Chains A and B, each alone.
Chain A
Amino acid sequence: MTQILMPALSPTMEEGKLAKWHVKEGDAVKAGDILAEIETDKATMEFEAIDEGRIAKILVPEGAEGVKVNAPIAELTQDGETAKPAPTQTKTIPSPLVGEGAPQARKGGNGHAVPAAPAAANLEDPAIPEGTEYINMTVRDALRDAMAEEMRRDPSVFLMGEEVAQYQGAYKVSQGLLEEFGPERVIDTPITEQGFAGVGVGAAFGGLRPIVEFMTWNFAMQAIDQIINSAAKTLYMSGGQMGCPIVFRGPNGPAARVAAQHSQDFASWYAHVPGMKVVSPYFAADAKGLLKAAIRDGNPVIFLENEIVYGRTFPVPKLDDFVLPIGKARVIREGAHVTLVAHSISVGLIMEAADILAKEGIEAELIDLRSIRPLDTDTIIESVKKTNRIVTVEQGWPVCSIGSEIAAAVVDAAFDYLDAPPLRIAGKDVPMPYAANLEKLALPTIDDIVAAAKAVLYRQ
């Protein structure tokens, strides 16, 4: 004798109505026959027999409402070689999802507290040996050198994207790579972001280490499903089996006079997502050291460059293998009065603002985030404990911004140290306008930063 139980027919069903019996006592049934119609919270469903047998008894009459999932609704006798009833059919197994106990299970109960997230690793930049020669280099060339060095080191590293090969890169970041590594490793793609982002993910699953260049991050919105759903989540969804070592890189943030669809900072979009790392350097040395780290990383890394910064020149240490840790901010200037935090092109703005403030006797401490995820909140909080004041600066929109996250982190960890509320300087909350004057108004300026620093110091 096997009991037929009230089935759960939707992810949310806990009870239902037995709308209609299609069989009566004594009827022979075989697999696939409709036994009954059941009204769930979503629809009326036909409920089929799974085994052959004869309906011995109907336990719940037609029209009964509020029949709990897993309650016996009929009894089936089986004969022939399948007489031995399936053990899961004869007993009611407590469900982790439906029925009694469900609320506790849903709230992460089961008698266990929700465990704390693991603490971030303590990272430090590698020491640069004394006497190391520095070469002045553009950010563009530093990025190119990082890719070339990693491609020489590891044959599984390759670069794909629009115009990366024959055209030498839309912004000339991949200049010379085709000549050195050939068309098998430097691959021009069609204009098909979602497609080639997914091809990159598949290639990473297949054991390669792809660098996928987006001509700009604006176009990567076409591919964001592959970046998040396929690249970032698969390690977790596979219980640690898979992993996706891939770098998505390209220019990010407002350029100049290209208007709304080509001027956007995506740092906070990607920073939101667990399962990947987000890097956004300003200096050439950081661009090189972090891109090399990104290519070697076992995780998807979002590498946010900046078109306007490509042509800026900075010193880069002349070392054979200069690799920096992802997730470590850098204090680029020490100061006692106010902490200014920025990433990418905004780092240049806080440096200029600090010079102006210095003339008025205000010593600003400057932090270059370099990485957005993991975010080095330790370095920020340590600074705030010293200065008691913080201003964040970014090109992106103000709502749910990197500055919002930093402000929350500082309030959480250093509330008692603050002598003023954290101030956030961000791009204005509008699509980027084209007109030169409006564009200027939409972006943070040095004057904005100077004014904010004075405001948190309560000075005019």
Chain B
Amino acid sequence: MARAEATAAANEAAPGPREAKRTMDGASTERQKKFYRDMLTIRRFEEKAGQLYGMGLIGGFCHLYIGQEAVVVGMQGALGQGDQVVTTYRDHGHMLACGMDPGGVMAELTGRITGYSRGKGGSMHMFSREKNFFGGHGIVGANVPIGTGLAFSNRYTKNGAVCLTYFGDGAANQGQVFESFNMAELWKLPVIYVIENNQYAMGTAVVRSTSETHLYKRGAAHNIPGEAVDGMDVEAVFEAGKKAILWAREGKGPYILEMKTYRYRGHSMSDPAKYRTREEVQEVREKHDPIDTFGARLVKQGVVKEDDLKAMEREIRAAINRAAEFASESPEPPPEDLYTDVLK
């Protein structure tokens, strides 16, 4: 597809359930079940993290992903072996979607030796070389040049991999994001910029911070195609992700996907979220919840029965409880670890 056509194809999707005809082959059915399972796993994990925070087991900053699950699950479904992921500090969902162990992630949240960073990173700084997850970065926007650099290494070594670089509507205003766009298109780097527009940068609504609120247009000045996607619909995300990833993998350069999504919880645990109404949150929860709407769609399509979803729920709750127990019972790092891993 020519660059101009791709840009023209950008649509302005609104959140809402989507009824599309799906091929009902076995592979797609399995994928649909996996999407549901992965989204629910993230939801239950985050609720549990919120609970452990409330008990004082998790300290500091803790940014929950509740409401945004469809974005990372749909994108991850479109990724291939060897592709990389890098994101900001709202990263628990991304790690689980990358296949990282919930126990290891939760144990990092509780600051224990069994955590992914041996207790030295915490909620915002976790990595898994094995799963090609490159963080977990605490500085808003700083992961965007890093993701661009990972894509640079892919092009340099011609390994065929692409890098998914996630960031939020707040980070989209950082200067280094524009710097990255420029270099990525200039050098045709295989990077997908996934802007998770959850509509609030901490407490500042997009309209109060951003002159052009259609963030998928942000690449226009750099000739990067962009597209708005209903980020509450995991299958819409998956389809858009496949297209963007193919674009990058074919050597055509970067691609921007703006995911229209919503976070139910505050920016972090100590945010009372007074900048929006309770009704606004309830409206999204009741009408556009990515898990409920997708579950209902699967039942309607005959992919699963209500009982199957309930069984999945029980299984996931049990797994998350095990993760929480593991995270609360693991020991803290030994004092000697204070001085390890400063230098190689």
Q: Which residues of A contact B266 (CB under 8 A)?
A: 45
| Interface positions of A from 177 to 236, Cβ below 8 Å from B | 184, 189-190, 192, 194-208, 225-226, 229-230, 234-236
Choose among B139, B157, B176 the residue with the greatest number of A CB atoms under 10 Å from its CB. Answer: B176
**CB pair B139 A195 closer than 8 Å:** no
Q: Which residues of A contact B314 (CB under 8 A)?
A: 81-82
- Distance of A229 Cα from B146 Cα, bound (Å): 12
A245 to chain B, nearest CB (A): 8
**CB pair B148 A95 closer than 8 Å:** no
A201-B149 CB under 8 A given contacts A236-B120, A239-B117: yes
A430 interface residue, CB < 8 Å from B?
no
Q: Which residues of A contact B116 (CB under 8 A)?
A: 238-239, 241
A204-B51 CB under 8 A given contacts A11-B60, A97-B56, A108-B335: no
Q: Which residues of B contact A274 (CB under 8 A)?
A: 342
**CB pair A70 B55 closer than 8 Å:** yes
- Distance of A11 Cα from B63 Cα, bound (Å): 12
Q: Given A199-B149, A241-B128, list of 12 further CB < 8 A pairs?
A: A86-B317, A88-B324, A113-B335, A115-B336, A156-B157, A195-B183, A199-B152, A201-B145, A208-B156, A208-B157, A241-B116, A298-B344
A87 interface residue, CB < 8 Å from B?
yes
- Distance of A99 Cα from B183 Cα, bound (Å): 49
| Interface positions of B from 330 to 344, Cβ below 8 Å from A | 332, 334-336, 338-344
Q: Which residues of B contact A7 (CB under 8 A)?
A: 53-55
Q: Which residues of B contact A112 (CB under 8 A)?
A: 334-335
The 3 closest A-B pairs by CB, nearest first: A202-B149, A198-B145, A206-B153
Q: Which of A8, A158, A208, A230 contacts B56 (CB 8 A)?
A: A8
**CB pair B341 A226 closer than 8 Å:** no
Q: Which of B55, B179, B335, B342 contacts A93 (CB 8 A)?
A: B55
B294 to chain A, nearest CB (A): 17
Q: Which of B59, B153, B163, B341 contacts A240 (CB 8 A)?
A: B341
**CB pair B61 A11 closer than 8 Å:** yes
A104 interface residue, CB < 8 Å from B?
no
**CB pair B59 A11 closer than 8 Å:** yes
Encoded as 1 (CB less than 8 Å from any B CB) or 0, chain A from 17 to 54 comes to: 00000000000000110100000101111110010000
B7 interface residue, CB < 8 Å from A?
no
Q: Which residues of B contact A158 (CB under 8 A)?
A: 156
B225 interface residue, CB < 8 Å from A?
no
A261 interface residue, CB < 8 Å from B?
no
Q: Which of B51, B149, B152, B342 contacts A235 (CB 8 A)?
A: B342
A229-B148 CB under 8 A given contacts A88-B55, A239-B341: no
| Interface positions of B from 101 to 135, Cβ below 8 Å from A | 110-111, 115-121, 125-129, 134-135
Q: Which residues of A contact B163 (CB under 8 A)?
A: 202
**CB pair B145 A44 closer than 8 Å:** no
> How many A-B contacts if CB must be within 8 Å?
256
Q: Which of A42, A156, A204 contacts B270 (CB 8 A)?
A: A42
A242-B127 CB under 8 A given contacts A88-B51, A204-B149, A236-B342: yes
A302 to chain B, nearest CB (A): 13
**CB pair B175 A194 closer than 8 Å:** yes
- Distance of A31 Cα from B150 Cα, bound (Å): 40
**CB pair A201 B146 closer than 8 Å:** yes
A162 to chain B, nearest CB (A): 12
A277 interface residue, CB < 8 Å from B?
yes
**CB pair B59 A202 closer than 8 Å:** no
A267 interface residue, CB < 8 Å from B?
no
- Distance of A458 Cα from B82 Cα, bound (Å): 68
**CB pair B150 A202 closer than 8 Å:** yes
Q: Which residues of A contact B134 (CB under 8 A)?
A: 202, 205, 242
A192-B179 CB under 8 A given contacts A206-B154, A230-B137: yes
B32 interface residue, CB < 8 Å from A?
no
A438 interface residue, CB < 8 Å from B?
no
Q: Which residues of B contact A195 (CB under 8 A)?
A: 145, 148, 176, 179-180, 182-183
A10 interface residue, CB < 8 Å from B?
yes
Q: Which residues of B contact A198 (CB under 8 A)?
A: 142, 144-146, 148-149, 176, 180
30 A-B pairs in the complex with CB atoms less than 8 angstroms apart:
A8-B269, A9-B270, A11-B270, A31-B47, A32-B264, A42-B270, A69-B55, A88-B48, A88-B57, A88-B325, A114-B338, A156-B157, A158-B156, A190-B182, A192-B183, A194-B175, A196-B145, A199-B149, A199-B183, A201-B146, A202-B149, A202-B153, A206-B152, A226-B145, A229-B142, A230-B142, A236-B120, A239-B118, A241-B117, A241-B128
Contact-residue size bin, chain B (C-beta under 8 Å from the other chain): 35 or more
A15 to chain B, nearest CB (A): 11
A161 to chain B, nearest CB (A): 13
Q: Which residues of A contact B157 (CB under 8 A)?
A: 156, 206-208
Q: Which residues of B contact A118 (CB under 8 A)?
A: 339
A202-B145 CB under 8 A given contacts A9-B54, A11-B61, A82-B317: yes
Encoded as 1 (CB less than 8 Å from any A CB) or 0, chain B from 254 to 286 comes to: 000000000010100111111000100000010
A43-B183 CB under 8 A given contacts A97-B59, A199-B145, A201-B149: no
Q: Which residues of B contact A436 (CB under 8 A)?
A: none
- Distance of A99 Cα from B121 Cα, bound (Å): 23
A123 interface residue, CB < 8 Å from B?
no
- Identity of the chain B residue whose Cβ is nearest the Cβ of A240 in the assembled complex: B341
**CB pair A81 B310 closer than 8 Å:** yes
B138 interface residue, CB < 8 Å from A?
yes
Q: Which residues of B contact A199 (CB under 8 A)?
A: 145-146, 148-149, 152, 180, 183
- Identity of the chain A residue whose Cβ is nearest the Cβ of B341 in the assembled complex: A240
B197 interface residue, CB < 8 Å from A?
no
Q: Which residues of A contact B86 (CB under 8 A)?
A: 202
A103 interface residue, CB < 8 Å from B?
no
B52 interface residue, CB < 8 Å from A?
yes
**CB pair B332 A89 closer than 8 Å:** no
A63 interface residue, CB < 8 Å from B?
no
